């Protein structure tokens, strides 16, 4: 399997996963990059996975669906154009011979979902245990066979998390906790190239975090070469992302300094850090 981030708009990534013949795409906010990549590589689009209803994630959905006939999967509790197979926590989406667990991750929007592929789950193989077809004309992109994958939309970013447009701090913290509990080598396919701005804020929260300094230098080098900083991994984010580290003493103390008072419980700490990020320049 090959994984490609397709740039769109100013900073979106539309994720394309393919086996050299068949493909799926996540959050096609713009149809043109998707259709161009499919034509160039000679791929047949089998499925479209939608995480939430914002226009930069579904703006190209209908055009891609009409052009390819792909099956569309999306959040059960959000307004997404039909035809749509509506999915929620506990459902499984099967595409490309792989199985994707659906996770409810409200916070950024009320019905936001994510898709997690565990390559070690028996249901991840096609009937009979055969591997999906490989090879073909599409060779670009890193090989992700045997790698856990997470398509998380705007819930988790490298070094950050999504704004709370419809959900509550308690919901977002619970959603991030669920993602942080996934295997450490899970490749986290975020929907935006916000990494450098997020890391600038993260250094303000944890100026003494040496892992954060090293990771920032790594990401700056990638961007200077025109390369994406994504995907990241769950393990990496647990080391550097303040929104996954709100129970660390340094982050709690930073939240207290910003708030001017003790923010209280874990939700209060998260809410203070999120508000700080909203105001940060």
Q: Note down the domain range covering 11.
A: 1-89
Give domain status of residue 62, yes or no.
yes
Residue 135 pLDDT level (bands cut at 50, 70, 90): very low
Residue 154 falls in the annotated catalytic set? yes
pLDDT tens digit sequence for 19-70: 999 999 999 999 999 999 999 999 999 999 999 999 999 999 999 999 999 9
Average pLDDT over residues 78-96: 97
Give domain status of residue 275, yes or no.
no
Catalytic hit among 57, 104, 112, 118: 57
Q: Could you tell me which residues are beta bridge partners of residue 232?
A: 188
Known binding site for Zn(2+): residues? 52, 54, 56-57, 108, 154, 192
Tell me phi and psi for residue 169, to 5 degrees.
-55, -40
Give domain status of residue 168, yes or no.
no
Judge whether residue 161 has pLDDT over 50: yes
| Contact by Cβ (8 Å): 275, 218 | no
Q: Tell me what pLDDT residue 139 has.
A: 43
Q: Tell me what pLDDT residue 78 has.
A: 98
Number of structural domains found in the chain: 1
Give domain status of residue 76, yes or no.
yes
Catalytic hit among 19, 56, 104, 118: 56
* The two structure tokens encoding residue 197: 């701005």
Give domain status of residue 32, yes or no.
yes
Judge whether residue 261 has pLDDT over 80: no
Average pLDDT over residues 97-109: 97
| Contact by Cβ (8 Å): 212, 218 | no
Residue 112 falls in the annotated catalytic set? no
Known binding site: residues? 52, 54, 56-57, 108, 154, 192
Q: Could you tell me which residues are beta bridge partners of residue 44?
A: 22
- Can you list the alpha helix ranges (DSSP code H) found in 13-159? 31-41, 55-58, 61-68
* The two structure tokens encoding residue 82: 């039909």
CATH classification at residue 44: 3.60.15.10
Q: What is the 3-state secondary structure (H, E, C) of 45-112?
A: EEEEECCCCCHHHHCCHHHHHHHHCCEEEEECCCCCCCCCEEECCCCEEEECCEEEEEEECCCCCCCC
| Contact by Cβ (8 Å): 202, 159 | yes
Give domain status of residue 50, yes or no.
yes
Judge whether residue 206 has pLDDT over 80: yes
Give domain status of residue 141, yes or no.
no
Residue 192 falls in the annotated catalytic set? yes
Catalytic hit among 54, 104, 112, 117: 54
* The two structure tokens encoding residue 254: 């930073």
Catalytic hit among 108, 112, 117, 118: 108
Catalytic hit among 18, 52, 112, 117: 52
Residue 266 falls in the annotated catalytic set? no
Nearest to 68 by CA among 51, 46, 50, 83: 46
Average pLDDT over residues 256-269: 88
Q: Tell me what pLDDT residue 281 has.
A: 84
Q: Tell me what pLDDT residue 144 has.
A: 84
Q: Tell me what pLDDT residue 131 has.
A: 37
Give domain status of residue 277, yes or no.
no
């Amino acid at each position: 399997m090959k994984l490609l981030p397709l740039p769109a708009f100013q900073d979106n990534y539309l994720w394309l996963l393919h086996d050299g013949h068949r493909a799926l795409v996540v959050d096609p906010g713009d149809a043109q990059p998707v259709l161009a990549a499919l034509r160039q590589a000679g791929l047949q689009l089998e499925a479209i996975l939608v995480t939430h209803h914002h226009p930069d994630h579904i703006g190209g959905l209908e055009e891609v669906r009409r052009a390819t006939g792909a099956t569309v999967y999306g959040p059960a509790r959000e307004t997404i154009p039909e035809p749509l197979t509506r999915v929620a926590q506990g459902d499984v989406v099967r595409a490309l011979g792989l199985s994707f667990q659906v996770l409810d991750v409200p916070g950024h929007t009320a019905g936001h979902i994510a898709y997690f592929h565990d390559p070690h789950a028996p249901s991840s193989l096609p009937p009979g245990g055969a591997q999906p077809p490989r090879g073909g004309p599409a060779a670009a992109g890193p090989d992700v066979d045997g790698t856990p994958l997470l398509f998380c939309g705007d819930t988790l970013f490298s070094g950050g998390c999504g704004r709370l447009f419809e959900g509550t701090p308690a919901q977002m913290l619970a959603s991030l906790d669920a993602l942080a509990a996934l295997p450490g080598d899970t490749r986290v396919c975020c929907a935006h190239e916000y990494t450098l701005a997020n890391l600038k804020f993260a250094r303000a929260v944890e100026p003494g975090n040496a892992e954060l300094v090293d990771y920032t230098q790594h990401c700056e080098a990638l961007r200077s070469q025109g390369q994406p900083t994504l995907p990241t991994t769950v393990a990496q984010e647990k080391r550097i992302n303040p929104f996954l580290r709100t129970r660390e003493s340094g982050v709690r103390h930073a939240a207290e300094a910003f708030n001017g008072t003790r923010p209280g419980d874990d939700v209060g700490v998260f809410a203070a850090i999120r508000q700080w990020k909203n105001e940060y320049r």
